[in-house]
Structure 1
């Protein structure tokens, strides 16, 4: 029996949570006797980052000849060369003119979007008809829309949700046009089943979803008790750590920097360390320089071993505005780090139990207060770290495996009996 996993973008070379879960899920299905293929549609050269069983096939269906009517991206020159400034100014004016003409010719931005989407969907239909899978699992509602728009598929489809469901189809986070929201929402009617991360996320599914819904959490590798952070150990310097994509709109690392800057002078033996890469590296670097804290706050870059970095820390700070799950947060708990996040942040407020395994702050002032509590109290850090370690044991690979096999079997059996 063949199962096709589809992540239409960012799987090749991708280091994010969706790519990791896609790879883990593929390995689970392969280990349980299914023939597994992962498909993407990306104009890149690359390969999967996370380990896959050698029996799993990865296919990129990208075709340079597929017609896509693309707008020209607008670029703002930020340098000081006057000749380049004139060059890019002219190019930007041309791009604006070209884009207006294209949108007018296509009878609107929505029609342009749908034209390109339909052509990609036709390519997906041809590929799916060739592969003939018994089940399709999409790794986002965006991937679901890509394969179903204007198509009639006879294969049952499941969707894996690696965030809060409404983040995938609504405009709650901003940036989506109304026609995109309508298309993404309507695609839920094509689903036979869906996986969500927390039971509370059921209420964020649209009314047109009528399939199987199962709560299946992400797996966190268990850390042995001998490898936990020892908060009672004597040391000369202490570390507050954050791991995640450098993205101030979502991860809000700038807030952690501001908070630490208020405490740095009072606690000279403490440092703040960031691991991760992202578009906001330069912004955060400038913020650190302007605060005069380059010797206390560090942007370390990418790490392929976040657990090792966490074991060397004392507190995990996670000031995200929104999350689906908070994989780095869960991993921090697994090594015995007490954690701080915002009470309003989805995912984070599911993992942190306020006053037990960490603190949920209502605002910046509250986060600073709780951080200072942990700085001053190694016993509290130890107690919260132990409780976090115990709590996160329930998020394991065996549980994920059982959940997915049950969901897959339920949908396939239901489909076979129709």
Structure 2
């Protein structure tokens, strides 16, 4: 039975337009499924960019970018150090850095410090969100990040239930353990949880990482995983074999450089194996340099974004995923769903929940172990087949219908 028509507003304040990451993929999945359940769905963002969603969205779903040049923002100018050898570029970067520092110093003096600049900018953006939400009149708001939650609730109280979808381990969203966040940013992010009626997390163990400021409904809902009838046939002899990594090329998180290092140490011993990286990101240049340093231009390939990830995974033999941290990594689950044995680090959140050590793949303590496990898989096609079959079975519980049903149940509970 269809739901009585209610309007759901999904907010991803940044990176939705042209974004190809996991959050954007789940945002589009959620919007499509909620529409199929009979809800009216709108997605809202606030981005100074032009483009379209990368992933499929039903034409009935409205997309609104509330960005306006009229909103006054005090810009703290970024600056970077130049690490190249060109003396002219070094001088250019030096001048830019001095000018940026001077501009920032004047701004801080006029505004009374960083915290006041932060609060001023957040107030301006929140005011814009408030105007939009009042005109949109949703029955429920789903935020795709805690940053989005803060944007719409700062200095505001809505009589509209809000649910947050957590796409990683919850504490990654409000602490500085993964990257720099100012003290005031962490304080406000943590406080914003008070506005939530509910929160969706990816694993039961993630409940331990919610802040004390949250007191709403908590429900464990995994991400959906493609369901395939066939599993890769690892007994088939090939001229060349593929190790594959599929993720954004963001080395401080995804650590593709470690996968490259591991492969480089054994590549000569296994001349019919190649390494493929699928994805885009700011780590591209560094990986290109490393490939050249290791002299592996004909063995390691940077392939960019693919619109057919499952097809690329099906033509591969091993999935290597050396991430430092994850939530519920979609690429890993897709690799497991087609029957690929996987390698990851046992310290990596999400990865250590999905890969069952010595059953669906291997969880390594360090790169030396990862290298040994990789070799083990490369030389043993039966082990690859056994792990692949087990991996596909493990993914069979994460159907789209199950995920959709769990979300619908949570929404009904929150709406009362």
- Helix, strand or coil for the counterpart of 1:320? coil
Deviations 1:208-238 (A, max 9, x none): 110000011110111221xx21100011111
Q: Are the aligned partners of 2:221 and 2:403 in contact in 1 as well (CA < 8 Å)?
A: yes
Structure-1 separation of matches of 2:121 and 2:25: 28
2:246 pairs with 1:243: yes
Aligned to 2:171: 166
Aligned to 1:223: 228
2:400 pairs with 1:392: no
How many angstroms does 1:92 deviate by?
Answer: 2.2
Structure-1 separation of matches of 2:47 and 2:333: 30
- Helix, strand or coil for the counterpart of 2:254? coil
- Helix, strand or coil for the counterpart of 2:274? strand
C-alpha distance 339-178 of structure 1, shift in aligned 2 (>3 A): same
Structure-2 separation of matches of 1:328 and 1:87: 40
2:353 pairs with 1:350: yes
1:208 alignment partner, one of 178, 188, 213: 213
Deviations 1:182-226 (A, max 9, x none): 11000001100000000110000001110000011110111221x
Structure-2 separation of matches of 1:328 and 1:82: 42
What 5-or-longer segments of structure 2 have no aligned partner?
1-5
C-alpha distance 73-174 of structure 1, shift in aligned 2 (>3 A): closer
1:246-285 equivalence runs, <5 A: 246-285=249-288
Q: Are the aligned partners of 2:340 and 2:384 in contact in 1 as well (CA < 8 Å)?
A: yes
Aligned to 2:382: 379
Deviations 1:271-301 (A, max 9, x none): 1111111101111111111111111111111
How many angstroms does 1:76 deviate by?
Answer: 4.3
2:84 pairs with 1:47: no
Aligned to 1:316: 319
Structure-1 separation of matches of 2:293 and 2:85: 22
Aligned to 1:125: 130
- State the aligned residue count: 411
- The alignment's C-alpha RMSD in Å is 1.3
Structure-2 separation of matches of 1:248 and 1:75: 18
Comparing 65-74 with 88-97, which one deviates more in the overlay? 88-97
TM-score (norm. length: structure 2): 0.96
Q: Are the aligned partners of 2:22 and 2:329 in contact in 1 as well (CA < 8 Å)?
A: no
What 5-or-longer segments of structure 1 have no aligned partner?
414-418
Comparing 92-101 with 183-192, which one deviates more in the overlay? 92-101
How many angstroms does 1:90 deviate by?
Answer: 2.5
Aligned to 1:99: 104
Structure-1 separation of matches of 2:90 and 2:256: 32
Structure-2 separation of matches of 1:400 and 1:243: 23
How many angstroms does 1:84 deviate by?
Answer: 5.4
Structure-2 separation of matches of 1:93 and 1:211: 48
Deviations 1:133-155 (A, max 9, x none): 11000001000000000111111
- Helix, strand or coil for the counterpart of 1:101? helix
How many angstroms does 1:104 deviate by?
Answer: 2.1
Deviations 1:76-113 (A, max 9, x none): 45676655554443232111101011012211111111
Structure-2 separation of matches of 1:150 and 1:383: 55
How many angstroms does 1:322 deviate by?
Answer: 0.4
- Helix, strand or coil for the counterpart of 1:250? helix
Aligned to 1:135: 140
Structure-1 separation of matches of 2:364 and 2:93: 45
